[in-house]
Amino acid sequence: MKINRFEDIESWKKARELNKVIYSITSEGAFSKDWGLRDQIQRASVSIMNNIAEGFDSSSKTEFCRFLSYSKRSCSEVQCIMYMALDIGYVDKAIFQDIYSHA
């Protein structure tokens, strides 16, 4: 199947789902009041989607791969921040595991 739009890319769809979850958990409780950490994980999560879309519209496969690499790094950033959120009690182990594996 030929992909004609970035919205057709499965990893972009999954990143969109991840964003919904990130914004949901960061909008309540202590996480919502930790402006720095909340903003950082939201920016990293949004970056996953944006880099997939931006790379798809690039001029070459090499460029697209470079943007996919940026997206993967943003996934790692989300995972890293989730460790911090777990350690300081913003999320429980189940939420951590769900988001970690999703990223």
Domain harbouring 62, CATH code: 1.20.1440.60
Domain limits at 79?
A: 10-102
Does residue 2 sit within a domain?
no
Does residue 45 sit within a domain?
yes
Q: At what angle do helices 61-87 and 93-102 cross, to 10 degrees?
A: 170
Does residue 50 sit within a domain?
yes
Alpha carbons 53 and 47: distance in angstroms, whole number:
10
Does residue 47 sit within a domain?
yes
Assign 71 a pLDDT band (cuts: 50, 70, 90): very high
Does residue 1 sit within a domain?
no
Q: What is the model's pTM?
A: 0.93
Q: How many domains does the chain have?
A: 1
| Residue whose structure tokens are 């790692």 | 76
**Residue 98 region by backbone torsions, left for phi larger than 0, else alpha for psi between -120 and 50, else beta:** alpha
Assign 74 a pLDDT band (cuts: 50, 70, 90): very high
Does residue 33 sit within a domain?
yes
Assign 98 a pLDDT band (cuts: 50, 70, 90): very high
Mean pLDDT of 41-56: 97
